[in-house]
Amino acid sequence: MSIRDQITTEAASWIGTPFQHQASVKGVACDCIGLVRGVARAVGFRDPFTTGAASKYQGYGRTPEPVALLAACAEFLKPIEVASCERGDILLMRFERDPQHFALVLTRRPDAMIHSHASIGRVTSSSIDARWWRRVIAAYRYPELAIL
């Protein structure tokens, strides 16, 4: 099984996990970044929130501070072009004007994602239709995947 298969299989195993702000435990609770962190741990990647460098980003609000969110992405993830994202990559989306939501790309063509969303109340998969693509402001790759 490829590492991208491992990422998407693991992400799919989180479907149904209830939403809870700042949580990251499969089957118990997670938020959108908690899903990205939990999948990283499960496939053997480092969880940046377990390093001392992440302390300045912990305790984030329900509506993250955009500058801090983008700084954390730059520090812990590998930026890629949105057009080049593949299965297992990470999308950063905006609501209103500011970035505040993460999703993992499940498939391309058809485009689908897995994410934990407060209004849905759990981790779910959904298509990435034109409405979702308009919200995407950046794409990232796990650093460990970027070097393979």
d(CA 105, CA 4): 10
Amino acid in the structure at residue 39: V
d(CA 106, CA 113): 5
Q: Which band of pLDDT confidence, cut at 50, 70 and 90, is reported for residue 146?
A: confident
DSSP 53: G
Domain count for the chain: 1
- Supply the CATH number for residue 42's domain: 3.90.1720.10
Does this model's pTM top 0.95? My answer is no
pLDDT in tens, 47-77: 867 766 666 777 777 887 888 888 888 888 9
Phi and psi at residue 43, to the nearest 5°: -95, 5
Amino acid in the structure at residue 90: I
Domain assignment of residue 134, given as a range: 3-146
